[in-house]
């Protein structure tokens, strides 16, 4: 959480000096209902997120700032997405997590954190917005995602506990599109992704945005993330999906 707060402060400190030279700026805060599925392991057997770790959906705050820069300067898109799940679970056989063995049929507590922070540099595709009289726009660029990962398992009855922390940088491709069929309504899509070796990471966002008054907007949509990694003895094949709402302003 400390890293999340630091990133949010960085986000604000970075954004405000750009306002004077920016061609446009958009900032929003929202709530995302994250529904997890898949499995995870650390030097041992896979643990099912739903059936063994017993994780259910969580609603978390997220924030983003998008800055359109003039001339040939790349536009900037910053986003912070907290993600953490905690629950009491069980497994009917002994299992290994890290360097520790946990006893089967004995309850344990666990937590998995996957906070991530995005910095994208992108350009609008030339002539698309002009050719469509401002109704359609396409963006393309690169996105750097930093994942702040931590997993921990504690078995109070046996006194065994183990944890693993990992900071994982992930370079991704960024694509975005906005369609404005009428003045105060916009349909938007965003895609971030990469695939290499046997790993992949996809993050897809779709939203409907309405501007009821002035620069203020409200929006709702759906977000889907899929991650498959094998890094530093951590293997994970996870999905997170669910609806979100947000409110913000465009200047």
Predicted TM-score (pTM) of the model is 0.89
Which pLDDT band holds residue 9 (cuts at 50, 70, 90)? Answer: low
The confidence band for 11, taking pLDDT boundaries of 50, 70 and 90, is low
Where do the domains of the chain lie? 2-250
Question: pLDDT category, 108, cuts 50, 70, 90?
Answer: very high
Q: Share the mean pLDDT of the chain.
A: 91
What lies within 8 Å, CB to CB, of 127 at 6+ separation is none
Q: Would you tell me which CATH number, out of the four given (1.10.3470, 2.40.128, 3.30.70, 2.60.120), belongs to the domain 2-250?
A: 2.40.128
Give the span between the Cα atoms of 54 and 38, in whole angstroms. Answer: 11
The mean pLDDT value for 11-27 works out to: 62
Average pLDDT on 136-144 reads 96
Residue 71: pLDDT band with limits 50, 70, 90: confident
Predicted local confidence at residue 14, as pLDDT: 54
Examine the pLDDT at 96 and tell me if it is beyond 80. Answer: yes
Average pLDDT over residues 117-136: 91
* Terminal CA-CA length for the chain: 30
Q: What is the pLDDT of residue 12?
A: 53
Distance from C-alpha of 67 to C-alpha of 74, rounded to nearest angstrom: 9
If you average pLDDT over residues 108-131, what whole number do you get? Answer: 93
Task: Give the residue from 147, 149, 4, 120 showing the smallest Cα distance to 62.
Answer: 4
Torsion of the alpha carbons at 86, 89, 95 and 100, rounded to the nearest 10 = 50
Give per-residue pLDDT as tens, 192-212: 999 988 899 999 999 999 999
Closest CA to 82 of 32, 47, 48: 32
With cut-offs at 50, 70 and 90, classify the pLDDT of residue 126.
confident
For residue 242, give Cα distances in angstroms to 31, 81, 118. Answer: 10, 14, 19
Task: Give long-range contacts, CB 8 A cutoff, 24+ apart: 87-94.
Answer: 87/53, 87/54, 87/55, 87/56, 88/54, 89/47, 89/52, 89/53, 89/54, 90/52, 90/54, 91/47, 91/52
pLDDT digits (tens, 9 = 90+) for 148-173: 999 999 999 999 999 999 999 999 99
Residues whose CB is less than 8 angstroms from the CB of residue 150 and which lie 6 or more positions away in sequence, other chains included:
111, 112, 113, 163, 164, 165, 166
Q: Over 90: is that where the pLDDT of 5 sits? A: no
For residue range 34-70, list pLDDT tens digits in order.
Answer: 999 999 999 999 999 999 999 999 999 999 999 998 8
Q: What is the mean pLDDT of residues 119-132?
A: 91
3-state secondary structure of 133: coil
What beta strand segments (E) does 125-233 contain?
A: 136-155, 160-182, 185-196, 199-213, 216-231
Which pLDDT score, from 0 to 100, does residue 156 have? Answer: 95
Per-residue pLDDT at 185 exceeds 70: yes
pLDDT at 20: 46
Q: Do the beta carbons of residue 124 and residue 106 sit within 8 Å?
A: no
- The reported pLDDT for the residue numbered 129 is 85
């Amino acid at each position: 959480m400390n890293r999340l707060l630091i990133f949010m402060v960085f986000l604000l400190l970075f954004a405000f000096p750009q306002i004077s030279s920016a061609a446009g700026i958009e900032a929003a805060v929202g709530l995302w209902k994250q529904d997890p599925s898949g499995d995870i392991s650390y030097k041992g057997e896979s643990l099912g997120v739903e059936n063994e770790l017993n994780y259910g959906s969580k609603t978390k705050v997220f924030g983003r700032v998008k800055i359109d820069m003039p001339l040939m300067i790349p536009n900037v898109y910053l986003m912070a997405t907290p993600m953490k799940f905690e629950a009491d679970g069980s497994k009917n056989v002994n299992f290994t997590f890290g360097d520790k063995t946990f006893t089967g049929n004995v309850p344990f507590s666990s937590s998995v954190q996957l906070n991530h922070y995005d910095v994208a540099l992108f350009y609008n595709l030339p002539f698309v917005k002009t050719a469509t009289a401002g109704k359609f726009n396409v963006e393309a660029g690169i996105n750097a995602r930093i994942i702040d990962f931590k997993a921990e398992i504690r078995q109070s009855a046996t006194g065994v506990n183990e944890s693993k922390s990992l900071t994982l940088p992930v370079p991704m491709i960024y694509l975005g599109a906005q369609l404005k069929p009428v003045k105060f309504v916009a349909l938007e899509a965003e895609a971030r992704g990469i695939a290499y070796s046997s790993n992949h990471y996809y993050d897809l966002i779709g939203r409907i945005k309405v501007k009821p008054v002035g620069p203020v907007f409200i929006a709702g949509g759906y977000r889907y993330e899929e991650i498959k990694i094998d890094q530093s003895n951590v293997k994970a094949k996870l999905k997170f999906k669910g609806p979100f709402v947000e409110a913000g302003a465009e200047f």
